[in-house]
Structure formats: C-alpha cells, structure tokens
Structure 1
Amino acid sequence: MELVIGLVTLAGHIALLLWGTRMVQTGIQRAFGPDLRSFLGHALKNRLKAFGAGLFVTAILQSSTATGLMAAAFTAGGLVELTPALAVMLGANVGSTLIVQVLSFNIAAVAPVLILIGVLMFRQISSQRIHDLGRVMIGLGFMIMALHQLLELLERYENSPGFSWLLSGLADATLFNILLAGVLTWAAHSSVAVVLLIMSLATKGMVDPQQAFAMVVGANLGTALNPVLESDVGDDLAGKRLPVGNLLTRLVGVLAVTPFLAEIARLFSDYGIEEARAVADFHTAFNLVLAIVFLPVLGPFARLLERLLPQRIDESDPTRPRYLDPAARETPVVALGAATREALRLVDVLGEMIEGAKVGIAGTDRKALSDLRRKDNVIDSLNAAIKSYLTSIDPEELSLADKKRLNEILLFSTNLEHAGDIVDRGLIPHLNKRLRRGLNFSKEGQKELEDLFDRLLANLQMAGSLLVTQDERTALMLVKEKAEFRRAEFAAMQSHFRRLQQGDMDTSATTSLHLDVIRDLRLINSYLVAAAAQPILNVPGELAEDLSEAGQEQAPADVK
C-alpha cells in the first residue's frame, strides 16, 4: 500500500512539473512566438547562424519540438535548404538543456516569489504580453516547486523496500533504462521534465550515475520521436526529412555513447561532481558533442536524406491539403502559418477558374468549361480542411493576436469559397449557354468583359498578398479598387446599352448573358474585398469613412 501511495504522489508531482513546463512554453509562444519565428527565418542563411538561432530560440521557448516545427515550416516546399534547418535542430537540442542546467541548482526558495509575481502579471489583462509573461513566471514557479516536492518525496521513500526493489531491478538493465526514459519522454512530450525527474532520482541516490546517464540518453532519443510519429505528410516523404534527420543524429549519439556509459560515469565520479550537476552536464555534453560532430557533415547528410526521402506531392489529387501538419497544432504560430500557406492555394485555384472563364468568353471548348467546374470541388475541399484544422487548435493555446489571425484566415477561405461558387454556378453556366445557343459577344462587348476579368484577376492577387502582408495601405487600395470596379461595371453597361440602341445584332442576342456576366464579376470582386481588406480595416468608423471617400457601396448582404 505504501508503494501505491508513493507512486500516486510521485505521479502528481510529475504532473505539476509537466504542467509548469507547458505553461512556460505556451506563455513564451504567445508573447514572442511571431517574433521568434521571424528571427529564426532570417537566421536560416548558413549552418552556424542557424545553429545559434536554434539554440537561442529553444532556450527561450523551452521546446525543441516547437523550434523544429518552425524550421520545418520554412523548409516545406523548398523555401530554405535542409542543411541550415538541420543545424537549427542541433542548436535546439543544445538549447533545451539550458533550463536543466539552471534548475540543477537549489533554487527552491524562489518558487513562491515567481508564482506571486506571475499571478500579479497574469492579472494585468490590459497588456497581453505582460499577461503571457505572467504565465511563464507561474510555470517556472510550478516547475521549481515540483522538483522540490519530488526531492522531499524521494527522501521519504528512498529506503522503502518497494522502491528499492523496483530500482535495483533496473540498475544493470542499460537498454531497458534507455527504452523506459524514451517512452516516458515520448508520452510526456518533454525531455526537460523527464531529465529533471532523472536528476531528482540521482540526487537522492535512487539511481546510480550509469543508470541516470542511460535514462538521459533515452530521453534525448524519445524527444526526437514525436515529430517523426505525429507529422502527417501523406505520400510526400520530403516533409519527414527534418524530423528523421534529427532522430538519426540522436540515434547515432545513443549507439556511440551507450557502450561507454560506465567509463563516463566513473569519470564524473573521479572529479567529484555531485549527482544533479553530473546529470545536467552529461545531458548538455551529449547534445553539444553531437552538434560538433554533425555540423561539418550536414551537407552530405542532407543530400542523403533527400535521396532516401524524395519529394512526392500527389498532383493527381489537388483536393488534398499539403501544409496542414497535425503536429504543428501544438505550436499555434506554426499552425497559423501552415493554414495561411494552404489558404493561398485557394487563390491559385480560383485564379485558374477565372482565367478559364475569361477564355470562355470567345472560346468554343465546352469540355474546358466543364473541367473548370471540378476546380470548385478543390476549393470546397481545401476550405473544409482549413476550417477543420484551425478549429481543432486548442483555444487555450491561442493569444488574442492568434485568435484574430485565425479568424482572418477562416474569413478569407470562406469568402474565396463563395467566390468559387459564383464562378461554378454563375459564370460557367452563362458561358455554356452561349456555346449551346451558338452566340458571340460583340467585339466591343468582348473587350469590355476581358478588361473586367483582368481587373478581377489583379484584385485576386492583391487579396492573396494582403493575407500575408496585412498591409493597411494595400487593403485601402483594394477597397478603393472596389469602387473603381463598380465604375468600370457601370461604364460597360452604359456602352452595352448604347450598342443596343444602335441595333448591334450580337449585342442584342447576348444582352442578358452580358449583363449576367458583369453582375457575377462584381459579386466575385465584392467577396475578394470582404476576404482580405475588410478584416484589416475593420476599425470603427475608419472603414466606413474609407468606403465613403471611395464612393463605395457596402458589400452584399450575403458577404456580410
């Protein structure tokens, strides 16, 4: 019974340690996530800068997994080379050891102070960054408190027959210790928490140095498993290159160091290094030596990974999302970036539909128009995937800025889906009707429609740019362009009516089709403005004033 009570209490303290670690990670991500991602992106120029950036970002985030997801987001689609991304991971692995170094000192007395300061900061909701940093302080306090309680618990039970029997059975099972720590780290999603637990066990002499070092090796291996197992890249094996590369470097380190754990343990003992310090130093040294060994050979290593894991994007199934990595949902700044990239695919597909419809003004290929309608299914599928992905992110992990960005992406993808529906259910049927009846627009009418199509395509590209840049000046340009589009529409209609009065036969035969096409183009343009510009200029009074200055009517009711 005593053993059961001890294990339950131990589990509670470990849970507090994990929760504190989680609070630190999420607090930093909310406060500095976009800034750290931007910093990391600028550092991916060469391997040394990338290594330093990975170390720095992970030392702040306390999550090598989060840093790895950021690096993976940059490498996806070939935006940056694999070599500096691998260097980022080597730096991230070293950076994750620094908090262990700090907590290896006896700083239990500062835990209540950190929690008190954190609560005061957390209550300052007027400043979102101070609020998030308060979360970090509380998390650090919980981590230190949990470690202190772990030591007290282990001190009470270190002479317990049950604990002694359990741990003595593991003492000589090096491979089992490695696997046990690896599984615990994989399940906890935190090598920091597991290494701190190992450090507590070693401090109380419940595991000998060799056993502790074997567990540290296992924790380093386990933390590299999560990105490999949880990333869903389908048939595109290229998305696995970075996590697999990181896992292979760790595996090489494990295989190289395991036969010498006894000698390494004796070396630390000969220098009289205390148990907690020995665990922390070994953890840091293991990752630092791996970085020193692999940094010079990352080029050939990256090429090997590219050969073993070729890029296989299934172009035959364009409805399948390419960038919505489920593992990235734990890091909102990465998940939102992935959703943004997926939403930009909607711009490409809608652009292809509009281009095809423009060709259909004078074209004769009815099959080409029918093929365009299938692209609306692509837009519908991608929009549904984006919605499902974004709404599956835990709201508790999102800062106010993250929630705003999430809503902007949802609004963008939804409005582009509506625009695609107009092309599918309006423009294409109208153009098919022209072919069935053997009609042709007048030369002047055809030119007017083509000009409107060109203006619409330019506005679509501007909307896609706005989703990324969030630039207010460009947003105002798009809003004013809506007024210009209305004026161009009015001028085209007036010109059409003049041709009717002059008795133009082509104009007379296609008059309803001509006006229907113009109306559909106007509605599509309204959706583009609603998708990209209105969220940016949605300040009370400001948007209405801009629209008024542009001589602009409000968006259609179904857009609002």
Structure 2
Amino acid sequence: MSMDDIQMLIKFLGGLGIFLYGIDRMGDGLQKTAGHKMQQLLGALTDNPVMGILLGTGITAIILSSNATTIMVVGFVNAGILNLSQAVGIIMGANVGTTVTSWIVSMNEWGELLKPELFSPILIVSGAMIRYLSRNGKAKQAGEILVGFGLLFIGLGFMSEAASAYRTNKELLELFTNLGRHPFLGIVAGLFVTVLLQSSTVSVGVLQVLALNGMISWQTAVFINLGQNIGSCAAALRSSIGANSTAKRAAVIHLLFNTIGAVIFGTAMVLIFRLNTQLADSPVTSVGISIFHTVFNVSNTILLFPFAGFLVKASGILIREGTSASGCSLDSKDEMKRHLDNRILDTPSFAIESVTHEVVNMGYAALENFDMAARVLLTDDGSHAYQVKKMEQKIDDYEKIITDYLIKISNQSLNEEQHLIVKNLFYTVSDFERISDHCENLSELALEKNKRNIVFSKEGDKELKEMFQSVRSSLEHAIKARASSDMSEVRAVVRSEELVDNLEEEFRERHILRLASKACKPENGVIYLDALNNLERISDHAHNIAGFVRDEM
C-alpha cells in the first residue's frame, strides 16, 4: 500500500468518524428539542399495530437511529412496559423512520445550493454561535442540531473525496460488479459492513458516498442495501443477551421481519434485473439508493403488517417462553431493576418516564406503610408492626435502585427541563424514604404504647384519627400529582398541608390543657406528641413532593 493510499484511507475513516458524530449530535439535539413530547409518546402506546408503526417511525425520525429504537424496544419489552404485539408495530415503524437519514445524505444531489462545501461551514458557524452565545435552552438545542447537520456533510465530503481517488480503480470496480452479479454475496457484504460499523445508518451513508462517485451499479446497491437491512438487526440481538425470553423474541421478530423482506425483494429484484440488464448495470445515484431504501422499508411494512401475529408466533417457536432471564420467578426488588432497564437510557425521555413510574410505585408503597402504621397505633394491633418494618426495608431498597438509575440518567445528554425533572425525582425519592421512616417511628410508638399499657383519652384518640386522615389525604394527593403532573392535585396537597399544620397546633394546645387538668397522664402525652410530630413531618414531605411537580410546570 502506497503512502497516497494510506492518506486516502485515513481521510475516509476520518470522514466516517465526523459523519457518525454529526448524526449523533443531530439526533441528540432533536431528542432534547422533542423533550416532553417524547415522553408523551409513551402514553400513546396501545395494542393497535398501526399506532405502533407511526410511533416507531416518529421516534426513529427524531433520534436518527433505528438501532437505538429497536434496542429501546427490547428494553421496554424486558421491563414489561411493552408487550410483543406493541413491539411488532414499533419495530416496523423504526425501519420506515430510518430512511429519513438516507434522504438527508442525498440532499447534495438535489441542487447546487445544497452542495456540502457551500452550506456546511455556514451551518456549523451559525450553530456554534447560537449554541455558545444564546442563553435560551431551545435555541442552544437548535444550534446543536445545525452543528450536527453541518458535520454530517463535512464527513460525507471527506469520504467522497477519498473515494473519488478510486473511481477508476479496476480491481475495486470489479469487486463491486461481482457483488451485484452474485446477489447472495452482495447481501452478505452489506450485512457484514453493517455489523462491523454497528449502524445501518452509517453503512447506507457509505454506500451513498460510493454512489456519489459513480462506483456502483443499481444491482450492486440493491443487494448490498438488502444486506444492510438484515445487518441492522445485530444491535437488537446483541442487546437482548441477558434479557428475558420475551425481550429476546422482540429482537428475533426484528430479524425475521427484515430477513423475510430481504428474501422477497431480493428474489423480485433478481427477476427485474434479468429482464432489464441495462438498469442492472447502470450507475445508481445517492437519491436512487434513498428511493429504493424507502420503497423497500415501506413496502415491506405494508406487506408483512397483516402477518404481525405470525411473526409473534414464529418468534415463540424460536425462543421458548420463560419467567425471566435466569428462568426463575422475580421478586419485587428484581422486578424494579428489570423495569429500570439500561437499554432505555440512550433515550432519556423514555428513561425519565420509566423511572417516574417507579418513583410513583415507591410512593404507593410508602402510602401502604402509612396505612399499616395507622392501624398499629390506632387499633393497638401490634401484629402489623413487623410488616411496617419489612416495608420500610423494601422502600430503602427502592431508594437505592431508583437513585442509582437516576444517576445514570443524569449522566446522559439532557435538556434543561429534563435536568430539572431528574433533580426533583432525586428529592422525591428521598422524601418518600423519609415518609417511610416516620411510619416506622409511628409503629415503634405504638409498640411502646402497648408495652406500657398506655390508653389515650377519647378526645386524644379522636384527634389522632382526624390527623391520620388529613395526612393520608395530603400524601395520596402528592403521589397523584407526581404521577399525573396535575395542578389540581398539587393544590389539594397545599390545602391538606395547611389543614394538617392547623390541626397539629390546635391538638397540641388541647393536649396541654388536658395535661394541666390531669385528664391525661404525662407519659401518655410523650407518645401522643411524638405521634403528632411524625404525622406533621409526613405532611411536610408530601408538600415538598407536590412543590417539585409545581416547579416543573
């Protein structure tokens, strides 16, 4: 290999790196811009495959990566958020959505004004100035998209310039010709390159660079592109390692979908090229690849959509059902870990939605603990005291698992709104844990009350019941506020908190009067006042949680 060859290879690889980084920056910027709307997409998930296709198309068009979408689907299935019927539609849609990038790459064939060397520097300079000079979060994200867009085409320019040096290389042209004349070899080549680059978006981009330099024919491009579509399944298959059997089936469905489509279209294109040898041997353009890539993925989706149920059944034959990745049943702690799947982290909007759901579950666990503590204290039934302690340990586990996941999310690329939500979720988890601590305190006060044969006066007992009821209302509304981001729930917490504060002050004064009149013994009063204090603190934590929700709106 000559020095010139080495220089061209370095230039091509450098351009490939810039191209990949540009796509990543664009996708990251688009995802940040979509922000809360991406989270709302999760709520659109239904068993309707058509909705799934539209959802998969939209998500992939935003993040510019079908690999990321299918990996996310595997994560959602593994977490139990998606079932296989929903996954099928999203996987089909992801294949359609990935064609967006190929059209972006082919833009420089649309006209002279869209030549990379003309507008890429303008995009990069404009985006960089907006990114670093603007204080507005949305503007910064727009700048990030522009920089990514410009880098994408700079990378394409580098690759194209390096490839142009070999547009007359006989050995290379003969290789591409043979790949076109032997469909199986072309498909294998496309599959291998895609697996090697770990991205069908990048491998299709490389193919389009070769087309820009007139180095490949239609038949070569078609069979390589079919192989690229099969190769795009490698990321999901690799991601499913260690997941449960249902998640593995989702990855297999992706493979079956693309492979069946490649076989059908490959057979049809062999017949077409034999009937029209002029088309087969004519040079393909970058736009031509975009057209075929789109036609294949859209047609394949339309063709196999009625057989979505068959794909699910076929995946069940290839991957046998199991209860979990290890073949054993899951307890609640392991189930939470499964729900907070690391595969979802690459799409922070969905990761935030998923972890919020688990924070709400933690809140309901704290509410359950509150009810048990109330039963122990108000009914003198000590049998539930152990259950309160056990639930407190469970909530401590929840706190650690969720906090670890929130740390992972915070290390992702987030917009300002997402940073605020993650920060507030950190605080919310801590508040729920402290609420459970106070529940344990109440349970211990009840055990002490029973041990010392303490009996509250009728007035004291009635006051505690009223206090428990008001605090429970505050806590329940706070959990609902966190779950739904509903301002009416936030306002309900504020009203309950004000009521609790007033009741705490009023009941404390009444108790002092009872002590003064000797209607209550001092030793009774210590437990009563401690109970009031713990209940008031629980309401304070509920108010904190509602306040975090209010700050996000």
TM-score range, shorter chain: 0.7 to 0.9
TM-score, L = length of structure 1: 0.82
Distance 1:241 1:410, change over 3 A: farther
Q: Does 1:327 align with 2:335?
A: no
Q: 1:134 aligns with which of 119, 131, 143?
A: 143
Task: Look up the SS of the partner of 1:321 in the other structure.
Answer: helix
CA distance, structure 1, for counterparts of residue 306 and residue 329 of structure 2: 34
Q: 2:531 aligns with which of 510, 517, 521?
A: 517
Please give the per-residue CA displacement for 1:285-321, whole angstroms capped at 9, x wherever unaligned: 2212220122223355457768955776955343643
CA distance, structure 2, for counterparts of residue 20 and residue 517 of structure 1: 59
Aligned-residue identity in percent = 23
Please give the per-residue CA displacement for 1:193-235, whole angstroms capped at 9, x wherever unaligned: 2211122234445555555434323332333343453368855
Q: Which amino acid aligns with 2:348?
A: P
Structure 2: gaps spanning 5 or more residues: none
**Offset of 1:259 from its aligned partner?**
5.5
In the alignment, which residue of structure 1 is the partner of 2:408? 392
CA contact (8 A) 2:67 2:236 kept: yes
Counterparts of 1:136-535 in structure 2, within 5 Å, are: 136-158=145-167, 173-174=185-186, 176-186=188-198, 190-204=199-213, 206=215, 209-230=218-239, 235=244, 237-238=245-246, 242-258=250-266, 262-263=270-271, 270-271=278-279, 272=282, 274-299=284-309, 301-302=311-312, 309=321, 314=329, 316-318=331-333, 320-363=336-379, 366-393=382-409, 395=411, 397-424=413-440, 426-472=441-487, 474-501=489-516, 503-504=518-519, 510-534=524-548
CA contact (8 A) 2:105 2:208 kept: no
CA contact (8 A) 2:374 2:468 kept: yes
**Offset of 1:82 from its aligned partner?**
4.9
RMSD of the TM alignment (CA)?
3.6
Q: Which amino acid aligns with 1:493?
A: R
CA distance, structure 2, for counterparts of residue 290 and residue 538 of structure 1: 42
Please give the per-residue CA displacement for 1:67-109, whole angstroms capped at 9, x wherever unaligned: 5577779878877775455323322311211331342242323
CA distance, structure 2, for counterparts of residue 381 and residue 460 of structure 1: 20
CA distance, structure 1, for counterparts of residue 291 and residue 344 of structure 2: 31
CA contact (8 A) 2:74 2:240 kept: no
Task: Look up the SS of the partner of 1:397 in the other structure.
Answer: coil
Q: Which amino acid aligns with 2:525?
A: T
Structure 1: gaps spanning 5 or more residues: 540-560
CA contact (8 A) 1:111 1:144 kept: yes
In the alignment, which residue of structure 2 is the partner of 1:549? none
CA contact (8 A) 2:56 2:93 kept: yes
**Offset of 1:110 from its aligned partner?**
3.0
Q: Which amino acid aligns with 1:293?
A: L
Q: Which amino acid aligns with 1:291?
A: T
Please give the per-residue CA displacement for 1:126-183, whole angstroms capped at 9, x wherever unaligned: 3322221222122122212222221110111345689679879977634641441331
**Offset of 1:16 from its aligned partner?**
0.5
Distance 1:415 1:385, change over 3 A: same
CA contact (8 A) 2:87 2:250 kept: yes
Please give the per-residue CA displacement for 1:13-46, whole angstroms capped at 9, x wherever unaligned: 1111101101111111111232244357447574
Task: Look up the SS of the partner of 2:377 in the other structure.
Answer: coil
CA contact (8 A) 1:478 1:533 kept: no
Q: Which amino acid aligns with 1:437?
A: R
CA contact (8 A) 1:185 1:223 kept: no
Task: Look up the SS of the partner of 1:510 in the other structure.
Answer: helix
Question: Which of the pair has the greater relative contact order for Cα pairs under 8 Å at 6+ separation?
Answer: 2
Task: Look up the SS of the partner of 1:398 in the other structure.
Answer: coil
**Offset of 1:531 from its aligned partner?**
2.8
Q: Which amino acid aligns with 2:504?
A: E
Distance 1:454 1:75, change over 3 A: farther
Please give the per-residue CA displacement for 1:408-431, whole angstroms capped at 9, x wherever unaligned: 11111122122222323x222222
Please give the per-residue CA displacement for 1:247-286, whole angstroms capped at 9, x wherever unaligned: 4322332444456664465578644562434432332222
Q: Does 1:15 align with 2:17?
A: yes
Please give the per-residue CA displacement for 1:429-471, whole angstroms capped at 9, x wherever unaligned: 2222223334443444333223222222222222122223434
**Offset of 1:480 from its aligned partner?**
4.0
Distance 1:447 1:270, change over 3 A: farther
Aligned residues: 533
